[in-house]
Amino acid sequence: MAEIVLDNVTKRYPDGALAVDKISLDIADGEFVILVGPSGCGKSTTLNMIAGLEDITEGELRIGGKVVNNEAPKDRDIAMVFQSYALYPHMTVRENMGFALKLAKTPQNVINEKVEEAARILDLTQHLDRKPANLSGGQRQRVAMGRAIVRDPQAFLMDEPLSNLDAKLRVQTRTSVSRLQRRLGTTMVYVTHDQTEAMTLGDRLAVMRSGVLQQAGTPKELYDRPVNLFVAGFIGSPAMNFMGATLEEGSLRTAIGDLPVSAPLRQVLERSSVGRNVIVGLRPEDFEDAALVSADNRGFGVTFHATVDVLESVGSDVFAYFSQDSDLSARSDQLADLAADSGADDTADAEETVTARLDAATTLREGQDAELWADLRPMHVFDPESGRNLALEATAGAAAS
């Protein structure tokens, strides 16, 4: 069967640069796994190693139970779709799709049958005798996928196949990729830097940073229970808000007030070598206009006052942006990476802005001193040094005891 197992796979370049550092990941047969992360995190290198286009320095790669470290790409029975499609310009669509089969000396009638079948699935039948230069971007992308499908491989590898398409087409093609994978039932390993694509398409996501696997799990797991600062800030749009906090007298002092700390969490904080300063994470949807919060729910969080800098209404929600006191703002190298990736380090005072997603019924105005409420149940607490999510450990500990 076609499960792919990466066992401590490492890629070190001759000049010593470490592109991928001991990544271990099990991909089950028929699973749709997405490697996601910022530019330069090693996800494309990992994909190339699975494909056989790059050598594996250390570790083992097993496809279908067989170690394939030294096998040529064509012997691994996997097909790849490239970011730039890499269609052969001098061949027609039909010839492009049939090239691999022709090299394998398949009889011509079998080739024709398979090419026509794939063309039917991808709605390319009327373009079969045209050259790639005469096709639109979306059509070329489908031809690239057709070239992979025709080979009926054990697994598909896709390297950012949607990044060359315009935004609307990207959304449409995303759903067609998802449907295709479900229809064919083939294992798929997909690389992207777009976390929205990752969240919507994958059965499981693997977040990478600087060559190291940060966390692998279902989209929901990564969203609700991120293991560190990087995953917390990378997954979810708009991103999670991070605020500096100091642990004093059993509560966390932050820019939005003193937040009570539950007993298990206090134990974890005191037990660990974290020191006084931590980082508190709250997602935009954890905030609300205090006037709209029912009395029953108020107890689960804290209310505070803040001046609304900018108010954006998208119809279904209202996004309120306010600043926090910069002395207490969060600092960490994982956050610096996130800021570099999102471009926030180039924007003035982006670090100190907190984003809140409010119900559309709110009557708040820009510049108004508003009373807001923050739900503390989903609050995350991180160690600034290592980035570890301490709140997770607390809930795990509480669940165990």
Partner 1 sequence: MAAVATTGKQKVGWGTANTIVVALALIPLLWIISLSFKTPAAITDASFWPQQWTLSNYFGSTGILDTSTFIRPLLNSIGIGLIATFIAVVLASMAAYAVARLAFPGKQLLIGMALLIAMFPQISLVTPMFSIERALGLFNTWPGLIIPYIAFGLPLGIYILSAFFREIPWELEKAAKMDGATPFQAFTKVIAPLAAPGMVTTAILVFLFCWNEFLFAISFTSTISSRTAPAALAFFSGSSQFTAPTGPISAAAVVITIPIIIFVLFFQRRIVAGLTSGAVKG
- Contact residues for partner 1 (CB under 8 A)? 51, 53, 72-74, 78-80, 82, 84, 86-90, 99-100, 103-104, 147, 151
Closest distance of CB 104 from partner 1, Å: 6
Side-chain-side CA neighbours of 44 within 13 Å: the count stands at 11
Rounded Cα gap, residues 265 and 279, in angstroms: 13
Kindly report the number of other CB atoms within 10 A of residue 392's CB atom: 18
Residue (15 or 249) nearer to partner 1, CB:
15
Residue (74 or 331) nearer to partner 1, CB:
74
The answer, yes or no, to whether the previous bond of 14 is cis (omega within 30 of 0) is: no
Q: Are strands 187-192 and 155-159 parallel, antiparallel or unpaired?
A: parallel
Residue (54 or 116) nearer to partner 1, CB:
54
Closest distance of CB 82 from partner 1, Å: 5
CB 219 within 8 A of CB 231: no
Residue (80 or 282) nearer to partner 1, CB:
80
Side-chain-side CA neighbours of 366 within 13 Å: the count stands at 7
Residue (90 or 168) nearer to partner 1, CB:
90
Residue (103 or 167) nearer to partner 1, CB:
103
Closest distance of CB 103 from partner 1, Å: 5
In order of 3, 141, 150, 159, 171, the CA distances from 176 in angstroms are 23, 12, 17, 16, 9
Residue (105 or 168) nearer to partner 1, CB:
105
Closest distance of CB 78 from partner 1, Å: 8
Closest distance of CB 291 from partner 1, Å: 56
Closest distance of CB 84 from partner 1, Å: 6
Closest distance of CB 94 from partner 1, Å: 15
Residue (151 or 174) nearer to partner 1, CB:
151
CB-based burial label for 266 (10 Å; 0-12, 13-18, 19+): middle
Residue (150 or 370) nearer to partner 1, CB:
150
Residue (84 or 172) nearer to partner 1, CB:
84
CB 307 within 8 A of CB 370: yes
Token pair 């949607």 in the structure block, residue: 162
Residue (53 or 350) nearer to partner 1, CB:
53
Closest distance of CB 52 from partner 1, Å: 8
Closest distance of CB 155 from partner 1, Å: 12
Quote the tokens at residue 277.
């300063």
Sign of CA dihedral 282, 284, 290, 292: negative
Closest distance of CB 205 from partner 1, Å: 25
- Degrees to nearest 5, angle at CA 27 with 21 and 28: 165
